[in-house]
Amino acid sequence: MDIQTAEQKAASPQRDTALLVVAAAALIGSMFAFYFFESQFNALVRVLMLMAGAAVTLALAYQTRLGKTLWAYVVGSRVEIRKVVWPTRQESIQATLMVLVVVVVTALFFWGLDTALLWAVEMLTGRGS
């Protein structure tokens, strides 16, 4: 993954910064337009304007080195997600029941401990009946 193409090497940090600034301006502009044109256009048109602004933002951001690195990370994450072995229904039910049993046992333990400590404090302070 460290192999860089000629295009990536040629990309300058100033160009990347300029593209990210323009991308941010496009996103902010589309959000501004969404609220500014509230009285002139219906919600569908305003949402389409917002989505177009987001698409322009993503397209511009992808042209930067950071955008391409982020996209490679997303693609790699999808590959890793496909490798995950998900539990079966039976395994999920068994794990859920085990957690339920542990929670009930722990709750009973702390209830008993609280009762015993309350009884001890009442005996020591003379506040018990």
Summarize pLDDT for 42-55 with one digit per residue, the tens. Answer: 999 999 999 999 99
Tell me, yes or no, whether 43 and 68 share the same domain.
Answer: yes
Half-sphere CA count of 71, side-chain side, radius 13 A: 11
Span 81-99, average pLDDT: 95
> For residue 105, what pLDDT is reported?
98
Count up the domains in the chain and report the number.
2
**Residues 104, 58 share a domain:** no
Dist CA 91 CA 11 (whole Å)? 50
Enter the tokens of residue 28. 């902010």
Q: Find the mean pLDDT for residues 88-96.
A: 97
Task: Give yes or no: residues 73 and 107 share one domain.
Answer: no
Q: Are residues 114 and 77 in the same domain?
A: no
pLDDT, mean over the chain: 91
Which residue in the block uniquely carries the two structure tokens 């395994």?
Answer: 91
Among residues 51, 59, 50, which one has the least CA distance to residue 20? 59
